[in-house]
Structures are given as structure tokens and as C-alpha cells.
Amino acid sequence: MTDLLELETTMTTAKAHVVLARIEQLRKVRQAYERGVHQTDLAEANKVSQPAISQWLKMARIDAPDIRPGTAGGTPYEIAARCAAGLLSREAMIKQLSSWVYSRAEMSPDGEGDVPPLNLSGFNLQVGRALDDRFIDDAEYDRILEAVAD
């Protein structure tokens, strides 16, 4: 059993490093584009097509915003990944995720459909995703949820 737990921890740490590398790559592409670098130049530098860069830029707007001052990431998910990768303590992660201001999905006015808009910065999408990826455990999720609910 201990061997399985160690293996899961090793795999989660490795996954967190991959996630962080991808976030950093998307952030660098987005920042370069915002500084005026053309998509074709970004494509050449990354050895991908220009349409791929266009897709990356769409993803970067959601997954790779600039790191917020006073935190270890641009999103709660990134902060949890940094902790899972061993780059941030559990207590620092919990403190940062507990003090993060999560936006709430606005309710659709009556008559405009039954499906509310997708909230990409909401608690469930960010912290729930970190839980699903095992970057945080159930107890940490509950601590963060309790702090956010207050």
C-alpha cells in the first residue's frame, strides 16, 4: 500500500511539473504577443503552425494569466500545481487559495435559457480541477471551501 501511495505521489508531482511547464509556455507566448510579436513569428519559434498559436493564445487567456502579486500563480489551479510540484508549501497554498476572490457566475435572466454561462474563474472549476488532478486532497479542499464560504 505504501508503495502505491509513493507511486501516486511521484506521478502527481510529475504531472504538476508538466502542467506548470505548459502554463509557463502559454504565458510566455501570450506576453510576447501582447508586446507585439506576430503570430507567425511565434509559430516559427515554437515549431508549430500559426493556427496552433491562435489556439494557444485563446487557451492562455484562461489558463495562463500573469501571476497575481502576492501569490504563486495566475489562477488557483496554478497555485495548487505549484504546491503539488513541491514549489510551494501546503500552508502557503491553502492561505492563497482561501484568500483568492472567486468570481461567481451570474444568473441568467428568466427566459434566456436554462444554462448559465460557464464561469472559468469560479471555485469549482479552479479548485475542483486541482482536486480532480490530486494537486490537493479532500481535507485541503474542505478547508479552502470553508474559508471561502465565510
Enumerate the domain spans of the chain: 2-102+119-149
Q: Residue 120: what are its φ and ψ, rounded to 5°? A: -75, -15
**pLDDT at residue 143 greater than cutoff 60:** yes
pLDDT of residue 150: 74
Strands (E), the chain: none
pTM for the structure as a whole: 0.86
Query: What is the pLDDT confidence band of residue 117, given thresholds at 50, 70 and 90?
Result: low
Nearest to 72 by CA among 83, 60, 61: 83
- Residue 69's identity, in one-letter code, is P
Q: Which region holds residue 117: left if phi is over 0, alpha if psi is between -120 and 50, else beta?
A: beta
As a whole number, mean pLDDT of residues 95-104 equals 88
Residue 67 sits at φ, ψ, to 5 deg, of: -65, 130
pLDDT digits 0-9 by tens, 42-66: 999 999 999 999 999 999 999 999 9
- What phi and psi values does residue 127 have, to the nearest 5 degrees? -75, -35
Asked whether residue 107 carries a pLDDT value surpassing 70, the answer given is: no
| Calpha distance 47→14 (Å, rounded) | 25
Percent of the chain topping pLDDT 70: 87
The rounded percent of the chain whose pLDDT value lies above 90 is 79
